[in-house]
Amino acid sequence: MDFLRPASWEEALAAKAAHPTAVPIAGGTDVMVEINFDHRRPDHLLDLNRIGELTEWEVGRENVRLGACVPYSRIMEHLRAELPGLALASHTVASPQIRNRGSVGGNLGTASPAGDAHPALLAAGAEVEAESVRGTRMIPIDAFYTGVKRNALEPDELIRAVHIKKADGPQQFSKVGTRNAMVIAVCAFGLALHPGTRTVRTGIGSAAPTPVRAKEAEEFLNAALEEGGFWDSRAIITPSVAKQFAALAAGACNPIDDVRGTASYRRHAVGIMARRTLGWTWESYRGNGRSTEGAA
């Protein structure tokens, strides 16, 4: 095994081009577990810790350009207003120690369906800035996840940043685990209201081979909100609409039975979380929520 320590982004791209099987390591919160438990022996580890720009972010007019290695704890602390859904999701990641090291770039690189950031990214809307010595491309988040622990990156590409839409309305994130902290998602749900476009976007984690949006549920809700004039009236959403939205969200799941939970529970729980997060965000939108950010 070789340990590559590029001092700059350009060096990192060159190293990845020279060694396409090199495994990037930033926070180490996935990679080191696999190494410690002898599940993986890559020929090369590509350390990204020395590249300062990867832990920086820029807040633009429409987007936040989030460096691939910005730790979750920084997102919680500094980006709650711009990225409330992702900040909430960040808060559910593992433990304080892990949140000090883990990053959205790592979640995307691993592309586990259980990654906590994915539902929030899907709901907010995002693009992944992937780069290689051949150039830069922007991968829409909806096209990024290609299979269980597989993503749209080419072997020579690295994730430089994620461009996430700044919140234009309330966002929520909710995750079921069988422990009250430090737990991998049994399933998770992210929801963002986009009053600017009068749309709702969602993200489901751990309930399908990849993170997915509940598109049918979104379309149903978009139509129902539009038809009912809810965006303007800010009236309470009819329970039957919320119920149907929840059912469609549950229907968007394609889960498995595993040691963390059953498929039918996952479907059930996603439905409940869909209904609750819709309720919380809508209350916020109506002006009754005390913040868009959730608590704690």
Partner 1 sequence: MRVNFTVNGRRYEADDVWEGESLLYVLRERMGLPGSKNACEQGECGSCTVRLDGVPVCSCLVAAGQVEGREVVTVEGLADFAAHRAEQHPGSGCAPGACGTALDQARRWQADPAGEEARETGELSPIQQAFIDAGAVQCGFCTPGLLVAADELLERNPEPSDADIREALSGNLCRCTGYEKILDAVRLAAARAEETV
Partner 2 sequence: MGVTGNPTSINQGTRTKGGIGESTLRPDGILKVTGEFAYSSDMWHEDMLWGHTLRSTFAHAEIVSIDTSEALATSGVYAVLTYDDLPSTVKNYGLEIQDTPVLAHGKVRHHGEPVALVAADHPETARRAAAKIRIDYRELPVITDEASATAPDAILVHEGRSDHHAGHVPHPNIVHRQPIVRGDADAAAARADVVVSGEYVFGMQDQAFLGPESGLAVPAEDGGVDLYVATQWLHSDLRQIAPVLGLPEDKVRMTLAGVGGAFGGREDLSMQIHACLLALRTGKPVKIVYNRFESFFGHVHRHPAKLWYEHGATRDGKLTHMKCRIVLDGGAYASASPAVVGNASSLSVGPYVIDDVDIEAIALYTNNPPCGAMRGFGAVQACFAYEAQMDKLAAELGMDPVEFRQLNAMEQGTLLPTGQVVDSPAPVAELLRRVKDMPMPPERQWEVAGEQADVRALPGGLSNTTHGEGVVRGVGYAVGLKNVGFSEGFDDYSTARVRMEAVAGEPVVTVHTAMAEVGQGGVTVHAQIARTELGVSQVTIHPADTRVGSAGSTSASRQTYVTGGAVKHSCEAVREKVLEMGRRKFGTFHPAWATAELLLEGGKVVTDGGEVLADLADVLEDEAVDIELEWRHRPTEAFDLRTGQGNGHVQYSFAAHRAVVEVDTELGLVKVVELACAQDVGKALNPLSVVGQIQGGTIQGLGIAVMEEIVVDPRTAKVRNPSFTDYLLPTILDTPAIPVDVLELADDHAPYGLRGVGEAPTLSSTPAVLAAIRNATGLELNRTPVRPEHLTGT
Q: Which of residues 144-183 bind partner 1 (CB under 8 A)?
A: 180-182
Total interface residues for partner 1 by CB under 8 A: 29
Pairwise CA distance, residues 34 & 41, whole Å? 8
Q: Provide the 10 A C-beta neighbour count for residue 93.
A: 26
Pairwise CA distance, residues 221 & 200, whole Å? 7
The binder of partner 2 chosen from 171, 174, 199, 206 (CB under 8 A):
174
Least distance in angstroms from the C-beta of 121 to partner 2: 17
- Strand pairing report for 44-47 and 2-4: parallel
Binding to partner 1 by CB under 8 A, coded x per residue (else -) over 84-113, reads: ----------xxxxx-xx------------
Contact 94, 102 (CB under 8 A): yes
Pairwise CA distance, residues 59 & 90, whole Å? 18
Torsion sign across C-alpha atoms 23, 65, 171, 231: negative
Structure tokens at 106: 């790592």
Is 288 an interacting residue with respect to partner 2 (CB under 8 A)?
no
Pairwise CA distance, residues 286 & 282, whole Å? 6
Exposure on the CB side of residue 130, measured as CA atoms within 13 A: 22
Is 9 an interacting residue with respect to partner 2 (CB under 8 A)?
no
Is 32 an interacting residue with respect to partner 1 (CB under 8 A)?
yes
Q: Which does 100 bind (CB under 5 to 8 A by kind): partner 2, partner 1, none?
A: partner 1
Torsion sign across C-alpha atoms 71, 208, 88, 226: positive
Cβ proximity to partner 1, 23 vs 212, nearer residue: 23
Torsion sign across C-alpha atoms 31, 36, 40, 46: positive
* Binding piece for partner 2, criterion CB under 8 A, among 131-139, 179-187, 199-207, 217-225: 179-187
Q: Which does 3 bind (CB under 5 to 8 A by kind): partner 1, partner 2, none?
A: partner 1
- The 3-state DSSP class for residue 289 equals coil
Binding to partner 2 by CB under 8 A, coded x per residue (else -) over 248-287, reads: -----------xxxx-xx-xxx--xx--x--xx-------
Cβ proximity to partner 2, 68 vs 75, nearer residue: 75
Pairwise CA distance, residues 75 & 170, whole Å? 17
Q: Which does 290 bind (CB under 5 to 8 A by kind): partner 1, partner 2, none?
A: partner 2
Binding to partner 2 by CB under 8 A, coded x per residue (else -) over 113-152, reads: ----------------------------------------
Pairwise CA distance, residues 272 & 87, whole Å? 21
Least distance in angstroms from the C-beta of 187 to partner 2: 10
Least distance in angstroms from the C-beta of 101 to partner 1: 5
Cβ proximity to partner 1, 148 vs 182, nearer residue: 182
Contact 12, 6 (CB under 8 A): yes
Q: Which of residues 151-170 bind partner 2 (CB under 8 A)?
A: none
- φ and ψ at residue 121, rounded to 5 degrees: -65, -45
Q: Considering only CA atoms, which of 235, 237, 245 is closest in space to residue 202?
A: 245
Q: Which residues bind partner 1 (CB under 8 A)?
A: 1-3, 5, 25, 27-29, 31-33, 35-37, 41, 45, 47, 49, 94-98, 100-101, 180-182, 296
Q: Which residues bind partner 2 (CB under 8 A)?
A: 36-38, 88, 91-92, 172-186, 259-262, 264-265, 267-269, 272-273, 276, 279-280, 289-291, 294-296
